[in-house]
Structure 1
């Protein structure tokens, strides 16, 4: 599995910590920026990461901004993206099992490092359940169309 990762300045520190986790776990990733704590606009990075998921350059992605809200909204504007903002492991698991979320959003100023790593771990290891959920995800795609 190859993961895309991106953030704005508010999520930069947590993004860097997530990269350490991915390295430790041997998970390949592409970092789409930002590369410092200098002020940038989260929609730019949400779009880059989302386009990488849609084009299948990466399998799934993780995005981070200060709260996770802005970047998740930006990601969800890209057709084919199901970005879930998660602040707990249960939501992370359900976002994959039930919603086939292909991007995880986190709030760098909201979620502590240890909890963020638990959320990332659960999200990466959880597969889509299919079954009755497949039709629901298809209905989401129909709304996009």
Structure 2
């Protein structure tokens, strides 16, 4: 699977660990940076990575910042992206199985690398329960909202 990763200065170190883990699992990683811990603006890195997922250049995205919320706010502004902030494996499992998210956002100031890597592992290996009617129905409603309020990239 092709994974877009991005981070700000607070997420750099953890993003590097996540990236190494993904590569060790056979995934191709598209790294949109940043590549150091110097203060930077999160949208400069997450936005291009989010576009890569939306355009189909990457299958999923994993974004790491201080608490995860900044990355999720950016990603969820883009049609076709469904980002969740997950700070533990349980949330990651539900974000995939119940909500069919395609972007995982992690807060490097919130969790350590061991929990983060397990969160990534669970999120990457959990399938959506789309064959269960209530989860399909709920995801379809979210998609309907997106279709109503967000422009497709082809319309921009």
Both proteins in one fold, TM over 0.5:
yes
Q: Aligned pair 1:135/2:137, yes or no?
A: yes
Separation in 1 of the partners of 2:48 and 2:142?
22
Q: What corresponds to 1:20 in structure 2? A: 20
Separation in 1 of the partners of 2:84 and 2:78?
13
How far does the alpha carbon of each residue in 1:106-129 deviate from its partner, in whole angstroms, 9 at most, with x for none?
Answer: 001111000001000000001111
Q: What corresponds to 2:102 in structure 1? A: 102
Q: What corresponds to 1:54 in structure 2? A: 54
Unaligned runs of 5+ in 1: none
Larger Rg: 2
How far the C-alpha of 1:93 sits from its partner, in A, is 0.5
- State the superposition RMSD in angstroms: 1.0
Give TM-score scaled by structure 1 length.
Answer: 0.95
Contact 2:98 2:129 in 1 (8 A): yes
How far the C-alpha of 1:57 sits from its partner, in A, is 0.3
Give TM-score scaled by structure 2 length.
Answer: 0.89
Contact 1:66 1:109 in 2 (8 A): yes
How far the C-alpha of 1:23 sits from its partner, in A, is 2.0
Separation in 1 of the partners of 2:50 and 2:136?
21
Unaligned runs of 5+ in 2: 149-156
How far the C-alpha of 1:78 sits from its partner, in A, is 0.9
Aligned ranges 1:81-120 → 2 under 5 Å: 81-120=81-120
The count of residues paired between Structure 1 and Structure 2 equals 145
Contact 1:8 1:41 in 2 (8 A): yes
Contact 1:46 1:72 in 2 (8 A): no
